[in-house]
Structure 1
Amino acid sequence: MFMKKMIRGLKGKLGIVLLLVFSLLISACSPSKEAQVNTTGKEPYKIGAVLDISGNSSSLGVPERDTLLMMVEKLNANGGITGHPVELMIMDNKSDETEGVLAVKTLIEKDVLAILGASSSGTSMAMIKTVQSEKVPMISLAAASSIVEPSNERQWVYKTAQSDIVMINKIISYLKNNQLNNVAFLYMNNSYGDNGKKAISEAVKDSGIKIVAEEKFDANDKDMTAQLTNVKMSGAQAAIVWAIPPSASILTKNFKDVGLSIPLIHSHGVGNQKFIELAQGAADGVILPIGKLSVAQQIQDNDPQKKVLESYIADYTNKYNTEPNSFGGYAWDAFSLLVNALEKAGPDRAAIRDELEKTQEFVGISGVFNMTAQDHNGLKEDSAVLVQVDQGKWKLIE
């Protein structure tokens, strides 16, 4: 009633300005949700995240953002970290490397204790120089091995996605078991694709497997028919693709369009439902190595990850009315590893870095993490399974 009388009594532009000022004052006096959580009066722990929320890699960044928002809300509702609420600042790098660097610098200026991200290998790689020079712990959510290697140049950098060499080795075992000796390799023209190429080039040495065709494409390409026609003419017995949606989905559709019937093996970069949707029915039959989240109900009950996976699925599904994917899982792991380190180290960047490196037997979504000074990923081949897309769903094959 008071507000209505005030609105009627205010005239012209001056009245509008005064009303806005009054409203802001009222809002400022009202306790926020975060203030209600922070009942201990302890200083918040500031954490930054740089994610590919828009742009070509948005199918990775969006579930990662949603996972982090869910986790920080739950953590603060339960008292934070030793009574300290977590203040999470998320920035969108728009799937652009320059934007990623700018975002990292902005967060460091805000005195964040650590940075989570980025979502893709290229944007993660672009951020490394800054966090190294500023000595700020960073946990990437991307796959390229070069994000954490060489270890003597990546002392402040960790990551939660399985490295490309881990997934390549899983694929090599599949090829050997099925006597598929001549393969084609297609890859994105970026850091993720380049690291995949490097990994497979190393893995096929002395393996009896030969790469008979090698084709490259850009993330923005809308048609890969020419590259696939070359694959068709090469005599390849299987095709391996190192890419993420949407280009990975376009290639998968083109694969069927040109009449290729050899096994199509993708990387874990397509481990979300968006890949299947964008492929418009062409993804059925695709094989890929991936973490266990997508087939959580199909793995053995005695698997140490099973309860963690089921808990994450339940939490995410209850909040967002859709199931999570591996990319959200990478964010779950990164946040959990950081919280674990903060509980022991407190608000000290160097101590947080040291605690991350000491991580042992940490059961996460992507696997059981065992990190060392030489290994800032901590995941081996047992963190991955082989799945096949069957009627638009993920099916465990080994």
Structure 2
Amino acid sequence: MKKRSIMTLLLLISMLVLGACNSSTETASSKKDSDTIKIAGIFSSSGGAAPLGEPGLETLKMIVKKQNEAGGINGKKIELITYDDKSDQNEAVLAMKKAITQDKVSVVIGGTISGNALAMLTLAEQNKIPFIATSSSYQIYQKEDGSSREWIFKIPHNDSHAVERILQYLQEKGLSKVAWLNVSNSFGTSAHTEFKKLASKYGVEPLIEDEFEVTVKDAKPMLTRVQKVNPQAIIVWGTVQESSVVMKNIRELGIKLPVLGSHGIGSDQLISLGGDAVNDVVFPIGKLIVADQLDDADPQKKILLDYKEMYEKEYNKGVSSFGAHSWDAFYMLVKAIEKVGNDPAKIRDYLENDLGDFVGLNGIFNITKENHNGLKTDSLVMVRIKDGKWTIEEK
């Protein structure tokens, strides 16, 4: 009995010591966390989506550095933890899990392509961490019933905004018979769904609807089918890499029809990859790449030019709309943390209820409980590639 009592006493002492150690560790950890603001940036900086992911990651690194040099946010330094998801959904999920459960970040910015962001969002919702997505599909923030996902916000224009802007343009130009070609991933199929919903509203009829792989090397068989139906214009809905292949094939086949692209091609890499074949391609995009052509009264012009100057000086290359997504996400976050601190739930509530009209690079955002994107079609301009340069399309 005596031996058992001693063993019990020793066990109790061990438990008390362990509890004290745990308490001390948690306090130290909490103190450490309170001294910094942890943000995760998850981007496709390698793989097929690298032309989109690189400027997003570069921009975030640049502006976090600038913010820290200016004293951080409310005197607290920002600790930016970055991941390359390698343009792969599984890698994106693993990065999201590590950022939330191991790094204990307060918010996540990223998800370069829609498929990756869609794969990542469940973890954000389960762990109640705000996720500010930098990819396009409306499904990222919107549920099937039309309501917004509680913890998910999205910076780029919706597919519906870009599709509708193209349809408006076609109507203005009297082009009603078209070929619709989309990349066979969530970015392409989501836009195709919006196109089918909206086309008749603008008197546009698809004579053929087809798709191509993100890894497409030769789209000529598909384009031969397009030639047979004799459309008045071709819409190529993809991002930089695959769109450049299809557009080059269009010109190689001698097809001289108007070609329209998605809002996912606004990168100098399209011109590098497509060369002369992408001249005269027209597409909807935010105002960044044509900022110097805007009227001086435009409320976005100054911040657009400031970003352009900063990025080009830092990286010695042209800006991309994909970098603009990170800029808008970060400065929304700065505004929220300045007002409510570093608590994820308070950040979420501020973004949804109190951000107000936020003048960003992509447009003037008005986020509400019902709409966690907050942009409208009129924040897009139609841009034509002319002699390898971006120009605002004349009406």
Q: TM-score, normalised by structure 2?
A: 0.89
1:363-382 alignment runs, 5 A limit: 363-382=359-378
Match of 2:287 in 1: 292
**Matches of 1:285 and 1:365, distance apart in 2:** 25
The Cα of 1:152 is off from its aligned counterpart by 3.7
SS of alignment partner, residue 35 of structure 2: coil
2:225 to 230, 233, 237: 230
The answer to whether 1:137 aligns with 2:133 is: no
Q: What runs of 5+ residues in structure 1 fail to find an aligned partner?
A: 1-40
Deviation, structure 1 residue 361: 1.3
1:53 equivalent to 2:45? Answer: yes
TM superposition outliers: structure 1 runs of 4+ over 3 Å:
none
| Residue in structure 2 matching 1:105, options 73, 94, 97 | 97
Q: What SS does the corresponding residue of 1:187 show, helix, strand or coil? A: strand
State the distance in 2 between where 1:307 and 1:152 align. Answer: 34
1:119 aligns with 2:112: yes
From 339, 356, 375, the counterpart of 1:360? 356
The equivalent residue for 2:175 is 180
Checking the alignment, whether the CA contact within 8 Å between 1:294 and 1:325 is kept in structure 2 is yes
Look up the SS of the partner of 1:214 in the other structure.
Answer: strand
Superposed, 1:112-261 pairs within 5 Å as: 112-150=105-143, 152=147, 154-261=149-256
Q: Secondary structure at the match of 2:200?
A: coil
- Whether the aligned pair in 1 keeps the contact of 2:147 and 2:371 (CA below 8 Å) is no
Secondary structure at 1:129 match in 2 = helix
Could you tell me how far 1:345 is from its partner in structure 2? 1.8
**Following TM superposition, by how much is the alpha carbon of 1:207 offset from its aligned partner in structure 2, in angstroms?**
2.8
Which whole-Å CA distance do the structure 1 matches of 2:74 and 2:242 have between them? Answer: 44
Deviations 1:323-359 (A, max 9, x none): 2110001111111111111111211111111111132
- Does 2:387 align with 1:394? no
Q: Deviations over 1:104-129 (max 9, x none)?
A: 00000211000001111111111011
Aligned mates of 1:152, 1:385 — CA distance in 2: 27
- Look up the equivalent residue of 2:346 and give its one-letter code: A
Which residue does 2:13 correspond to in 1? Answer: none
Q: What is the TM-score when the length of structure 1 is the normalising length?
A: 0.88
- Counterpart residue identity of residue 114, structure 1: V
Corresponding letter in the other structure for 1:378: G
- Post-superposition Cα deviations, 1:168-196, rounded to whole Å, max 9, x if no partner, equal 11111111111111111101110000111
Distance 2:148 2:307 in 1: 33
C-alpha distance in structure 2 between counterparts of 1:360 and 1:225, whole Å: 48
Where in structure 2 are there 5+ consecutive unaligned residues? 1-32
Measure the CA separation in 1 of the matches of 2:208 and 2:34: 59
Per-residue deviation at 1:81? 0.3
What CA distance in whole angstroms lies between the structure 2 residues aligned with 1:71 and 1:153?
Answer: 28
Q: Which amino acid aligns with 2:359?
A: V
Aligned equivalent of 2:333 = 338
Residue range with higher mean Cα deviation, 196-205 or 146-155: 146-155
CA distance in 1, matches of 2:390, 2:147: 38
Q: Check the 8 A contact 2:52/2:322 in 1, yes or no.
A: yes
SS at match of 2:278: coil
Q: How many residues are treated as equivalent by the alignment?
A: 359
Does structure 2 retain, via aligned residues, the 8 Å contact 1:47–1:89? Answer: yes
Cα distance in structure 2, aligned partners of 1:207 and 1:369:
26
1:91 aligns with 2:83: yes
Aligned residues of 1:187 and 1:197 also touching (Cα < 8 A):
yes
Task: Compute the displacement of 1:42 (Å).
Answer: 6.3
Rounded to whole Å, the distance in 1 between the matches of 2:168 and 2:297 is 24
Q: Aligned-residue CA RMSD in angstroms?
A: 1.4
Q: How big is the shift at 1:153?
A: 5.8
The range that moved more, 56-65 or 150-159, is 150-159
